[in-house]
Amino acid sequence: MPWLLSRARIWTRRGLILVLRVSRLVSIGVRQIRPGLRYLWRSLLRRWRRSLEFRTVLTTLLLAVTSFAIVGAYLSNQIANNLFQERLVQAESESRYNVKQVQDTFDGAQVTDQSSVITLVYDTLTAVEGRGSVIQRRYVFEAKPEQTKPRNRWVESRASDQLTVRVIPPELRKAVQEGGKQQFWASTQFPVGNEDRPGIAVGNMVTFNGTSYELYLIYDLNTAQQTLNEIQNVLWAGGAALVLMIGAIAWYVTRNVVSPVSHAAVVSEKLAAGQLQERMVVKGEDEVARLGASFNHMAASLQEQITQLATLSQMQQRFVSDVSHELRTPLTTVRMAAEVLFEAREDFDPMNKRSAELLYHQVERFQSLLSDLLEISRFDAGAAVLDAEPQDIFQVISHVMEGASPVAAEYGSDVRLNARQKSIVVEMDSRRIDRILRNLLLNALEHGEGKPILISVAANHDAVAVSVRDHGIGMSQAEAARVFDRFWRADPARARTTGGSGLGLSIAAEDTKLHNGWLQAWGRKGSGSNFRLTLPLRQGGTIVKSPLQLEPADIEFPGTARERQMLVLGTDPGTPPQRSQAAAGLDTPDAVEGEDR
């Protein structure tokens, strides 16, 4: 016994180890298959989103399969019901006839010995069975239970093909026993060889020699079931073939319709990329062909208009460049004469003195406009070159604020610098960044209505951002979208006291592009505007996210008050700009890191 117990424990342990190994292999297989299934599912979803042809064909197939499944199930059910009802009616009719023949035979029998009775019953039931090449029906002959047994009752039960009364449903036996001379039926299954066949059992009561017997005639439905199976196979095979045909037709039709659309999309992308000579291939005279012809006509018209605009633009740029260069020499002479008159204005009478001052200032503005035109022409000609060097951006901002101090004093605006870092070194062209920030600051002063101007600076691991925020008249979203267009002004009738060329922000945008940076504008009527310049810290770098949000949020800047640096430019032109710690409670909303809005 101990030896058997130890062997049993060993085999149990081995069985557990085997189960663990199999489960581990199954889990490993599932983990290896799961990425493939996930990739297949994502590919199908991507295909579903991007392909109209795939979506149409798949939807058509799904609808066709669903429709055929519903129709096939309905037809199969109707055919099965009709076959069953037809066989049931036939079984009930034959049962009534055969039961009557059996009862008549039993009633007219003149037998008294056991062997004659058994022979009579066997011959009668065999005749009912209808033996031959094919058995038409089977029977179960059973004496009714719980009745007085007569002295000469030599037959208790009999059945064909070794059937027993157990193949008869209990509900049917109960109904026959209680129903007297009525006929009842029920569906059943009975064994034939090694298989169970469906059938209908029809039950009646017969009497013989004073004994009541239950006579059940069982009709085989195997032939009807085979017929039904063949019909169902034909239905499913025909449905599958029809679904495939519908899928092929849907694919063919969809491809003929979608292919020109896809071709049009490809041609549109090429047109958008500048390949204006691209056209669609037109075949036939149907709606798709008319669409292709209309598309080609539109493309030709666009090509002609774009070519004309490009030609006009080149002529305009050449004209501006030529005129700017031609005006340079005479303007220099006029400026020298204006400077002589301006310096000697004290010797003139008041009217001539005022004229000399106006002449000098207007020549200065004209020269500024001419410089802007020359700079724009260099950008258009592709001659602008970036001279980038590492430099602290705070030095450039301080220089811009110092230069704008007379204008700030004139407008009565305080210019404040708000930053967390004390030094941010950027690879940049300081001359161009100075020009960008000067344009932004002068615009803010001009439109700030004497309210404080806030310059915020922040940096992250790959970019630095400078925002110039005013609280003046503001601008709408439509105006903010056009603010960098050349010669565009929100209010052409409004008088200008600074600038005047209408090219400052356009040049700033071009300078920003040279640095691979962002220059963006936000504005709201009555709430002021905010311009944000974002530059990569290293030349050729890529900006992922700006350190400052474009839309002002009026929330605290990261860091404590002691960590913030502020440069305040007062209205007094003689007061130098001072860098100081931001005082607690001072109303200087800090810029924070955020997404573009």
| Residue 332 exposed, middle or buried by CB count within 10 Å (0-12, 13-18, 19+) | exposed
Q: Average model confidence (pLDDT) for the chain?
A: 80
pLDDT at 153: 61
Q: Using CA of residue 319, residue 320, residue 321, residue 327, what is the dihedral sign? A: positive
Does residue 181 form part of some domain?
yes
204 and 59 belong to one structural domain: yes
Domain containing residue 362: CATH number: 1.10.287.130
366 and 416 belong to one structural domain: no
Residue 133 predicted with pLDDT over 50: no
Domain containing residue 427: CATH number: 3.30.565.10
Amino acid sitting at position 35: P
Determine phi and psi for 581, rounding to 5 degrees.
-75, 140
Q: What is the mean pLDDT of residues 574-578?
A: 41
Between strands 138-143 and 425-428, the pairing is unpaired
Residue 56 predicted with pLDDT over 80: yes
Where do the H-state alpha helices sit in 108-169?
Answer: 114-129
Determine phi and psi for 590, rounding to 5 degrees.
-95, 150
Three-state SS for 158? Answer: strand
C-beta separation of 102 from 137 below 8 A: no
Separation between Cα atoms, residue 343 and residue 357, nearest integer Å: 9
Separation between Cα atoms, residue 321 and residue 373, nearest integer Å: 7
Residue 331 confidence class, pLDDT cut points 50, 70, 90: confident
238 and 360 belong to one structural domain: no
Residue 87 predicted with pLDDT over 70: yes
Q: Which residues contact 471 (CB under 8 A, 6 or more apart)?
A: 448, 449, 451, 452, 527, 528
More confident residue, 201 or 113: 201
355 and 397 belong to one structural domain: no
pLDDT at 7: 65
Separation between Cα atoms, residue 126 and residue 406, nearest integer Å: 130
Buried b or exposed e, range 572-582, using 16+ CB within 10 angstroms: eeeeebeeeeb
pLDDT at 574: 40
pLDDT tens column, 476-514: 888 888 888 777 766 555 444 444 557 788 888 888 988
Sheet with 578-581, edge to edge strand ranges: 518-524, 528-536, 463-470, 453-459, 415-419, 565-569, 578-581
Helix H or strand E segment including 417 = strand 415-419
Q: Which residues pair with 184 in a beta bridge?
A: 203
121 and 190 belong to one structural domain: yes
C-beta separation of 212 from 176 below 8 A: no
- List the domain range (segments joined by +) for residue 248: 40-269
Residue 592 predicted with pLDDT over 70: no
More confident residue, 526 or 322: 526
DSSP 60-108: HHHHHHHHHHHHHHHHHHHHHHHHHHHHHHHHHHHHHHHHHHHHHHHHT
Alpha carbon dihedral 341, 345, 348, 354, in 10-degree steps, equals 100
Separation between Cα atoms, residue 153 and residue 208, nearest integer Å: 9
Q: What is the mean pLDDT of residues 73-92?
A: 89
Instruction: Kindly state the tokens that stand for 254.
Output: 């969809």
pLDDT tens column, 350-408: 888 888 888 888 877 777 777 777 777 777 667 677 888 999 999 999 999 998 888 88
Q: Which residues contact 446 (CB under 8 A, 6 or more apart)?
A: 407, 411, 496, 497, 498, 499
Three-state SS for 164? Answer: coil
Alpha carbon distance, N-terminus to C-terminus of the chain = 84
C-beta separation of 204 from 194 below 8 A: no
The count of domains in the chain is 3
Residue 202 confidence class, pLDDT cut points 50, 70, 90: very high
Separation between Cα atoms, residue 236 and residue 479, nearest integer Å: 66
Residue 595 predicted with pLDDT over 70: no
- Lowest-confidence range among 134-138, 292-296, 309-313? 134-138
pLDDT at 576: 42
Does residue 299 form part of some domain?
no
Instruction: Kindly state the tokens that stand for 160.
Output: 């064909």
Instruction: Kindly state the tokens that stand for 450.
Output: 């004497």
Three-state SS for 140? Answer: strand
161 and 204 belong to one structural domain: yes
Does residue 525 form part of some domain?
yes
Mind spelling out the 3-state secondary structure of 469-538?
EECCCCCCHHHHHHCCCCCCCCCCCCCCCCCCCCCHHHHHHHHHHHCCCEEEEEEECCCEEEEEEEEECC
Between strands 415-419 and 453-459, the pairing is parallel
**Which of 335, 354, 384 marks a domain boundary?**
384
230 and 370 belong to one structural domain: no
Residue 184 confidence class, pLDDT cut points 50, 70, 90: very high
Alpha carbon dihedral 158, 163, 166, 172, in 10-degree steps, equals -70
Does residue 250 form part of some domain?
yes
Q: Which residues contact 214 (CB under 8 A, 6 or more apart)?
A: 140, 141, 142, 143, 144, 173, 176, 177, 203, 204, 205
Does residue 359 form part of some domain?
yes
pLDDT tens column, 223-274: 888 888 888 888 888 888 988 999 899 888 888 878 888 888 888 888 888 8
Residue 406, by phi and psi: left (phi above 0), alpha (psi -120 to 50) or beta? alpha
Domain containing residue 219: CATH number: 3.30.450.20
Chain centre distance of CA 136: 65
Nearest CA among 489, 486, 460, 457 for reference residue 473? 489
Does residue 219 form part of some domain?
yes
398 and 528 belong to one structural domain: yes
Does residue 129 form part of some domain?
yes
Q: Which residues contact 257 (CB under 8 A, 6 or more apart)?
A: 288
More confident residue, 133 or 408: 408
pLDDT at 357: 83
47 and 58 belong to one structural domain: yes
C-beta separation of 567 from 398 below 8 A: yes
82 and 226 belong to one structural domain: yes
422 and 560 belong to one structural domain: yes
C-beta separation of 401 from 577 below 8 A: yes
Chain centre distance of CA 135: 66
pLDDT tens column, 2-30: 555 666 677 777 778 888 888 888 877 77
Q: What is the mean pLDDT of residues 445-472?
A: 90
**Which of 330, 351, 384 marks a domain boundary?**
384
Residue 149 predicted with pLDDT over 90: no
**Predicted TM-score of the model (pTM):** 0.47
pLDDT tens column, 406-442: 888 888 888 998 888 888 999 998 888 998 998 899 9
550 and 417 belong to one structural domain: yes
Residue 557 predicted with pLDDT over 80: no
Does residue 284 form part of some domain?
no
- Lowest-confidence range among 81-85, 212-216, 321-325? 321-325
